Amino acid sequence: MSKKGSVWKAYKREMKDFYSLENLLMGLLGSIIANLISFYTGYSVVSIIVVSTLGLTLLFILATSIILIKNKIKKWDV
């Protein structure tokens, strides 16, 4: 029985972050915002999510490339 309890504790510890309440609330908030934008603008929810995801991806690529260029310039100055 103690072995079963330790397996259950390990399972709960591993799944705690995956099913955390914070992640569920953030997903709910994001879906509410996407639905409100869809309601007021007339665009579909899928297009809003795709456009925002592409925008965040491009922003991430831009930020990482700027950081890499700054690090390369620092190496050249030394």
pLDDT digits (tens, 9 = 90+) for 27-77: 888 888 888 888 888 888 888 778 888 888 899 999 999 988 888 887 776
Same-domain check for residues 9 and 25: yes
Question: What pLDDT does 3 receive?
Answer: 58
**19 shares a domain with 35:** yes
Same domain, 38 and 65: no
Q: Are residues 37 and 51 in the same domain?
A: no
pLDDT for the residue 4: 61
The model carries a pTM of 0.45
* Type of residue at 53: T
**28 and 6 belong to one structural domain:** yes
User: Is residue 33 domain-shared with residue 2, that is, in the same domain?
Assistant: yes
